[in-house]
Amino acid sequence: MGALGAIVALLVVLFLVVGVYATVKVVRAAKRGVDRTISEARRTVEDTTLRAKSFAQVGTAGELAQLRLKLRTSMRSTQDVLQAGAVEDASLKESLGLFGRLSAHGHELDEELRRLERDPDKATVAERLPELKERTEHITQAADSLRWVARDRASRFADDDLQSLRTQIDMEAGALRHWATEPPPAQTPAAWPEPAAEPTTGGEQTVGALVRRAARAGAREARDHAADTGPHVSVGEEGQAREHDLSRP
């Protein structure tokens, strides 16, 4: 009974720990979502304010607003492109590292421009404007270079994939259009008939054997004729008749 109670208590503690962990994760995710929303709203408001200042104000204040707006727009666009591209292209992670270092200089310059916007000494700010413009130009050019390289790389991959896809489609289309039947297999020509087997030597009937057989038949016929006609046929005549038959072809 005591062991069962210990197991139940352990399960209860385990469920509590899991519940607390899940609650903390949900709260942190919600906090990050809220912070992200607040940051985006603040950024949108600040960008709108800078855009309005760049058009409405003249002189040093308007130029500072234009520099900040140009810097923030370039850095944000490059960040979005690199982060989106790094998901599919691992080679862009190194570019993200370089952009992180560039972002540190960009944030530093943005903070300096913001302070100068509230600086009452407009003459000193005006003297520093050429330097600030040069720094802004360097940072934005570097950011633009990273952004366009990432876009060109993504476009190149898309073109290569499209070309490979078109090649595969052309091959498949060619295979589907090959509706002609295959050629019939080549027919083997009929074999020539074997020559008839010649009779064996034992059963072979030569011309001489035929002649002898004909001679015997002729002699038998002559004797029969002599017997029928009478004894006036002499043996010499019979021999002559036999020789005559033998000489007949």
Query: How confident is the model over 99-129, as pLDDT tens digits?
Result: 999 999 999 999 999 899 888 888 888 899 9
Q: For the whole prediction, is pTM greater than 0.75?
A: no
| Separation in Å, CA 219 to CA 170, 223, 231, 235, 238 | 97, 6, 16, 12, 8
Most confident segment among 13-27, 31-45, 138-152, 181-195: 138-152
When computed from its CA atoms, the radius of gyration of the chain, rounded to whole angstroms, is 59
The residue among 18 and 55 whose pLDDT is bigger is 18
Dist CA 163 CA 168 (whole Å)? 9
Structure tokens belonging to residue 214: 């004909």
Q: Indicate if the pLDDT at residue 70 is higher than 80.
A: yes
Given this model, what pLDDT does residue 221 score?
72
Average pLDDT estimate for 82-87: 86
Per-domain residue ranges of the chain: 13-56, 58-160, 207-247
What local confidence, expressed as pLDDT, does residue 7 receive?
A: 79
What 3-state class would DSSP assign to 122?
helix
Task: Indicate if the pLDDT at residue 206 is higher than 80.
Answer: no
The alpha-helical segments, DSSP class H, found in 57-121 are 60-88, 92-117
